[in-house]
Structure formats: structure tokens, C-alpha cells
Amino acid sequence: GVTEEDVHQIVNRALSRFSEDRIGLVDYALESSGASVLSTRCSETYETKTALLSLFGIPLWYQSQSPRVILQPDSNPGNCWAFRGSQGFAVVRLSSRIRPTAVSLEHIPRSLSPKGSIPSAPKDFAIYGHEEEAPREGTFLGQFTYDQDAEPIQTFWFQEEPLATYQIVELKILSNWGHPEYTCIYRFRVHGEPEE
Amino acid sequence: GVTEEDVHQIVNRALSRFSEDRIGLVDYALESSGASVLSTRCSETYETKTALLSLFGIPLWYQSQSPRVILQPDSNPGNCWAFRGSQGFAVVRLSSRIRPTAVSLEHIPRSLSPKGSIPSAPKDFAIYGHEEEAPREGTFLGQFTYDQDAEPIQTFWFQEEPLATYQIVELKILSNWGHPEYTCIYRFRVHGEPEE
Amino acid sequence: GVTEEDVHQIVNRALSRFSEDRIGLVDYALESSGASVLSTRCSETYETKTALLSLFGIPLWYQSQSPRVILQPDSNPGNCWAFRGSQGFAVVRLSSRIRPTAVSLEHIPRSLSPKGSIPSAPKDFAIYGHEEEAPREGTFLGQFTYDQDAEPIQTFWFQEEPLATYQIVELKILSNWGHPEYTCIYRFRVHGEPEE
Ligand SMILES: [K+]
Ligand SMILES: [K+]
Ligand SMILES: [K+]
């Protein structure tokens, strides 16, 4: 059996990890650390009505639903980048040059979605590494599937660790979980080993 | 007795719930999802001195202590809407039309209040549903009491589930826990079932 | 042994404390409660490249890496005040006059730092209380060492509780954990008892 002391230790370790950006992995795509969105190629940002902030019925401004939000930690419902359709791109300049080993995608949990389903969540996606000089030709790093039935934050490790280092990484969404009009990205993180 | 595996499961479930906006209920009054404050009727926003942000002694601006903050998740001390006296109103346009089933009110915990007491917290309050065409005549949905000795986030379920659906809900604060000058609302949430 | 009920209780208590600004102590240096940075004396804010926010390669603005951020709760990587060298000052006007009993310093955990080390974290520091009329002459309240191997949030209690009350408190950083160019402060909190 476990003692009360054991329980306190398990709880404290879990809370420490929780406060390490939830997963305890450095995020080289974090805006506050210096990362930025370079391009979304042909993706068309979808202007949801929810973006309009108003006070006393007077519109204040359209909330920044720019792609930047995918590099920001706040993942309350609505704090996502929505693009039209089910295919979209985000080319991200990382905070430093790294050997990428994994990426994480995040969506809101089903429990916080009005109908208990998350059809606008991304499904299949691919990751590419880019050289600054030739941003159009990327190196394929991996393809994965975000699971709508699993935890909100999902981390995907590259099977073959790339030999090269990159400062530019592209997220290419290939499909979503069924929403006919748009796809929402709450947060995209890139993990890896810093260049020596 | 419980095994170590059991403890990990309990901890993980608790942390999952914690990260589901703490209570795991969709909040149709969340600003980032598209909700807004339509009116505060005759409520007079109370300009606390604490609202002034300054740097190097030079005032920068008065922090937005507008009623909008009650629809925003950040509940650090001071991030509340304060109105003069102990009676106030907030008419909220929800992010979508719903059959309301419950509301939640939030205040800071006693431990984060300078004297260990929270006299500016709301006490008795009533909830009304409104039709867009006739915003003055509301339908009474329920009356409740926020308990200053209970958890900071308290959820109140309507005894009789309303048959009608509403997109406009009014919070009417009837009394506070003793502060002679003002009452503070940190966050107001509305829960329910989305219209078919 | 412990029962399942015991485990739930321990977990719930830990999560309650976690949501009480992590440590359950009133922070009189919190900006949203009305505190502000009066001066940083001769400290030179260090413009890290990471401060530049850009979208599609176009610089938007330099992120407010002003000393104000040390009074704000968001401690994601990069949300810190960086000053040149290993010695710096921050003179803070508290949200109210108190008898100070402790201060807390916060840095990011090692796990969220690219190389697993935090050389830019503060090491030795001293705390002074000031009178509004004579801001240059302070009363020494205590000297402490932030431990780079301990928890990210560390609280330091004054050995002798000061008899006087202060509304102005100074943080004087004396050394860092080895970074040759700059030192980063993520958050500084001041705890105490409110004046009668
Ligand atoms: K986000
Ligand atoms: K709030
Ligand atoms: K901060």
C-alpha cells in the first residue's frame, strides 16, 4: 500500500510537471521566447463572428485571431487560429536553431465544446524543416494524426531524429475531424535539442 | 487500500478537470468565445485607486476595470469589475442561444485577500433570461447566495430547468458580504444546453 | 494505509493551494492589485532579441520587457525583466502599507530552459524598506540566496520581523548563476501584514 507521504510526493511531482508548461518540454515555437509566424502560405484566415469584442453592444475591435495565437499559451475556448477549409499551413521561425525531435498540438477538451465534439480540431498533419535561403523546399520530418478522443495536448515524436538542424519549421494540416467550414489550431509547439 | 497506480489515476483525473476551465462546464458567457456585456443598467463602476498602472511613478493608464473583465478567465487579485454599493447589474449576450441550466460566480480566495476576509464579494443574486426585442422584461430563472466560506468558484443550478432558450442573460447582484463602498465581480459564467 | 477518500482530499487541498497564486500568500507587489515599479536606479534593461514580436517576418513591436513584468503573474519563458550584468535594482511601491515578513522570487524551471540550466537566474539578493520622503536611504530587511536547484518559486522569510511598516520595498540583486551578459527576473512578490 501507499503512505500519506507517498501520496503527497506523487501530487507534488504532478503539480510541478503541470506548472512546467504542462508537459515539461522546452517549446522553441513559443512567441514570448522569440518565435514568430513567418507565413501561412495560401491559408485563408476564417473570420468567425466570435472574434468581435464589444462592450454595451458597441464593437470594440476584432480579436487578434491571427496565426500568432498558435504560439501563445492561452488556450481558453476561442483563442485559436481558424483557417477556411481543412487544409492549412503555418511556417514558424523558432526562437533558436535546433535539431527537432517532436512537436505538440493542442485543442480544447471536448468538455469545453458546446456539443461535446471537436470537429474543427486538426486530424492528419505533416511537419517540414526549412532552410532560410530556400523556404519553398522543405525536408519532410514526419506525419501524424491528432486524436480527437485523447488528451487535449498531444506530443508526436519523429521516428527518425533528423541529422540536420533547423530554425524554420512548417506545420501542414492535411485534414480535420469533420467541420465543413474551418479548422482551428489552438497551439503548436516544437521540441528538440539546441545546436551546440 | 489504494495502490500507487490508483493514486496516479486520481491525480491525473483531477488535473485534467482542473485544466478544463477548472469545472469542466462550457461557459457561454466567455468573452473569447464571443460573449459580451450589453449593459450594466444603472450600475456605477467604482474607480478603485488600484486601477492605475504606472511605471517609474508616471501613470500609464487606468486598467480596464470595465465590466468586460467578468467574462475573462484571469482572476488574479484586482482583475474584477467593481461597482458602487451592493447592488449591480450585468446584462450579457452569450456566445450562442442556449437553454440555461446553471451559472457560476467566482471571487478570490480569502487567503489572497489582505485581511483574510472578502467583504466585497457578492452575496445574494438573481438571474434573468431576456429576449432581444424586449430587453427590459426578463424571465426570472433563479436566486442564489454566494457563500463567502466555500470554494472560490461556486456553481448554482436552476431548480426548474427553463423550457425556453435565451441568448441574453442578466446577473442582478442584490447584496454583498459587508463592504460599505463597493462590490467586486471576478467572473460570471453561464452554463446550459445549446439549441438544437 | 490511506483510503481513496484520503487521496481525493489531499489532491483537492493541493489544487486549492495551487490556485491560490501557487503559494497561498497575499502578494502586495502584484500590479493588478495596484503595485508599481517606481525605479530601477542605474539598472540597464537588456534588449534581448527575443523581445521582438513579428508576423510574417514584419516586426510588430518590441514586447514590453519593462520591469513591470516582474509584478505580473505570467511566467512563461521570456516574460521576464532582463538587466545587463549581474547586479540590478527594482524599487516597488506596494499596493498598500504593510509590515513586510517575506518575499518570493520566481524563475522558470530548468526543464523549460533550452540547455537545462538557468545561469541568468538571480542568486544573492538583498531587500530594503524605504520611506516615501527619503527614497535613497533604505532600511535593510534581509539578504538571501535564490537556489538554482530548488523549486521555481522560492519564499524567503525575514529573520527579524521589522517593527516598522513600509509601502516601498527595494529588491537589490547582487549576483546571478553565471550568465556573463544579463540577469532575468520573472516575478518578485512581497508578503506581510497589513497596517491596522
Ligand atoms: K493559443
Ligand atoms: K476576471
Ligand atoms: K512575469
Q: What is the CA(B18)–ligand 3 centre distance, in A?
A: 22
Q: Which of A3, A11, A46, A63 to mutate to test the interface with B (most CBs of B within 10 A)?
A: A11
Q: What is the CA(C32)–ligand 1 centre distance, in A?
A: 22
Any idea what DSSP says for residue B122? B
What φ, ψ does residue C22 adopt, rounded to 5°? 75, -40
Nearest CB to A55; choose among B4, B19, B36: B36
Q: What is the per-residue pLDDT for A85? A: 92
Q: Which chain C residues have a beta carbon less than 8 Å from that of A37?
A: 55-56
SS3 C32: helix
Q: Which chain A residue has the Cα nearest residue B73?
A: A76
Q: What is the per-residue pLDDT for B55? A: 53
Distances, alpha carbon B195 to alpha carbons B22, B132, B164, in Å: 24, 16, 10
Q: Which chain C residues have a beta carbon less than 8 Å from that of B78?
A: 30-34
What is the full per-residue pLDDT of chain B (196 aa) written as tens digits? Answer: 899 999 999 999 999 999 999 999 999 999 999 899 988 887 787 765 544 445 555 554 445 478 999 999 999 999 999 999 999 999 999 999 999 999 999 999 999 999 999 999 999 999 999 988 666 779 999 999 999 999 999 999 999 877 899 999 999 999 999 999 999 999 999 999 998 7
Instruction: Please tell me the distance from the alpha carbon of residue A104 to that of residue A26, in angstroms, as a whole number.
Output: 11
pLDDT band at C61 (very low <50, low <70, confident <90, very high): very low
Distances, alpha carbon B80 to alpha carbons A68, B170, C17, C148, in Å: 27, 17, 21, 35
Q: What is the per-residue pLDDT for A124? A: 98
Q: Mind telling me how many Å the CA of C52 is from chain A's nearest CA?
A: 7
Instruction: Please tell me the distance from the alpha carbon of residue B154 to that of residue B89, in angstroms, as a whole number.
Output: 19
Q: Which residues of C91-124 are buried (b: 16+ CB within 10 A; e: fewer)?
A: bbbbbbebbbebbbbbbbbbebbbeeebbbbbbe
Q: Which chain A residue has the Cα nearest residue B191?
A: A114
Interface membership of C41 toward B (CB under 8 Å): no
Mean pLDDT of chain C: 89
Instruction: Please tell me the distance from the alpha carbon of residue B50 to that of residue B185, in angstroms, as a whole number.
Output: 15
Q: Which chain C residue has the Cα nearest residue B113?
A: C26
Interface membership of A14 toward B (CB under 8 Å): yes
pTM: 0.93
What φ, ψ does residue B143 adopt, rounded to 5°? -130, 140
Nearest CB to C114; choose among A19, A24, A96: A96
Mean pLDDT of chain B: 89
Q: Mind telling me how many Å the CA of A188 is from chain C's nearest CA?
A: 15
Question: Is the CB of C14 less than 8 angstroms away from the CB of A15?
Answer: yes
SS3 B112: helix
Q: What is the per-residue pLDDT for C160? A: 85
Question: Is the CB of B24 less than 8 angstroms away from the CB of A115?
Answer: no
Q: Which chain C residues have a beta carbon less than 8 Å from that of B22?
A: 19
Q: What is the per-residue pLDDT for B1? A: 83
Q: Which of C19, C42, C155 to mutate to test the interface with B (most CBs of B within 10 A)?
A: C19
pLDDT band at C161 (very low <50, low <70, confident <90, very high): confident
**What is the dihedral sign for C-alpha A64, A70, A76, A81?**
positive
Q: What is the per-residue pLDDT for A100? A: 97
Question: Is B182 within 8 Å of B82 (Cβ atoms)?
Answer: yes
Grid cell of B185 as nine digits: 465581480
Q: Mind telling me how many Å the CA of B52 is from chain C's nearest CA?
A: 7
Q: What is the per-residue pLDDT for B45? A: 78
Q: What is the CA(A189)–ligand 1 centre distance, in A?
A: 11
Burial class (CB in 10 A: 0-12, 13-18, 19+), C77: buried
Instruction: Please tell me the distance from the alpha carbon of residue C163 to that of residue A47, in angstroms, as a whole number.
Output: 59
Nearest CB to A76; choose among B3, B30, B34: B30
Instruction: Please tell me the distance from the alpha carbon of residue B130 to that of residue C145, in angstroms, as a whole number.
Output: 58
Question: Is B103 within 8 Å of B155 (Cβ atoms)?
Answer: yes
Question: Is the CB of C112 less than 8 angstroms away from the CB of A2?
Answer: no
Question: Is the CB of B53 less than 8 angstroms away from the CB of C67?
Answer: no
What φ, ψ does residue A49 adopt, rounded to 5°? -60, -25
Question: Is A184 within 8 Å of A81 (Cβ atoms)?
Answer: yes
How crowded is the C-beta side of B181, counted as CA atoms within 13 Å? 5
Calculated CA dihedral for residues C15, C17, C23, C29, nearest 10 degrees: 110
pLDDT band at C116 (very low <50, low <70, confident <90, very high): very high
Q: What is the CA(C123)–ligand 1 centre distance, in A?
A: 33
What is the full per-residue pLDDT of chain A (196 aa) written as tens digits? Answer: 899 999 999 999 999 999 999 999 999 999 999 899 988 877 787 765 544 445 555 554 445 478 999 999 999 999 999 999 999 999 999 999 999 999 999 999 999 999 999 999 999 999 999 987 666 779 999 999 999 999 999 999 999 877 899 999 999 999 999 999 999 999 999 999 998 7
Which of A42-46, B69-73, C36-40, C108-112 comes out lowest in average pLDDT? A42-46
Q: What is the per-residue pLDDT for B134? A: 66
SS3 B69: helix
Q: Which chain B residue has the Cα nearest residue C91?
A: B56
Question: Is A148 within 8 Å of A154 (Cβ atoms)?
Answer: no
Q: What is the per-residue pLDDT for A64? A: 46
Q: Which chain C residues have a beta carbon less than 8 Å from that of B14?
A: 8, 11-12, 15
> pLDDT digit string (tens) for C163-186?
899 999 999 999 999 999 999 999
Instruction: Please tell me the distance from the alpha carbon of residue B45 to that of residue B186, in angstroms, as a whole number.
Output: 14
Closest to A142 measured CA to CA, from A115, A119, A174, A179 = A174
